[in-house]
Amino acid sequence: MQYVNFVYEDSDEPTLFTGPVPESDAAYLREAAAHLKPLTDEEYITGPAAILCSLAKSSYVLDGEDLYWCIEWQPGFVIVKMAPNAEMKWVALRSPVPDFGGREPLPEDGDPDQDIDDNPQYNLIFTPWDAQFDKQEREWGSFLPADEDSQTRFENAMSRADSLSKDIESRIEKDEDQWFQLCRQNLEQWCGEGVRLKGTS
């Protein structure tokens, strides 16, 4: 697995960078992928697409021909899987740190004060996010400009989402506030409490 991010250095055009995903975090993402469910084009347009218009932090992870869009979003961590010529899939996970970011823990979350040595949700988002803006972080994370093969696989995986951009733009032009509020409502309903992965609560 490879992180993918965009780095603006001395140009207005971003350079695609990739960096290795540590095995422990890759294993977590594979476990989460077992819970993915189909995401129709209409559900994407009236749900996760609005996250691109928010301040939410997110990242991309490339795994062969598949691309995982990892997002910090209630109830903790949302994943959208994209692949060439395939329907998108997604899952919402509950944070392994139930009070992270000031969230209100539920009784099912257990003890919010327990020690968490490593938070894979945090790692999967903020390792590539921080590396976008900090050269030292890129060096520590072994980020390098993406080779042609990685760029091609990334673009191919993004093609379905990219093809929906005109539909999204037309809804924004018609009534951006209404569209955004609908998306937020749908996300809240669809994500619910999120999936609690074994060994992470």
pLDDT digits (tens, 9 = 90+) for 74-87: 888 999 999 998 99
Spans of all domains in the chain: 2-97+118-191
- pLDDT on residue 120: 92
Q: How many CA atoms lie within 13 A of 155 on its CB side?
A: 8
Nearest to 17 by CA among 116, 128, 103: 128
- pLDDT on residue 117: 65
- pLDDT on residue 98: 67
- pLDDT on residue 97: 74
Percentages (nearest 5) of helix, strand, coil residues in the chain: 45, 25, 30
- pLDDT on residue 136: 95
Judge contact between 6 and 128, C-beta under 8 A.
no
pLDDT by 10-residue block (mean), the chain, 201 residues: 91 91 96 97 97 95 98 94 95 81 68 65 95 95 97 97 95 95 96 79 39
Q: Does the global pTM surpass 0.75?
A: yes
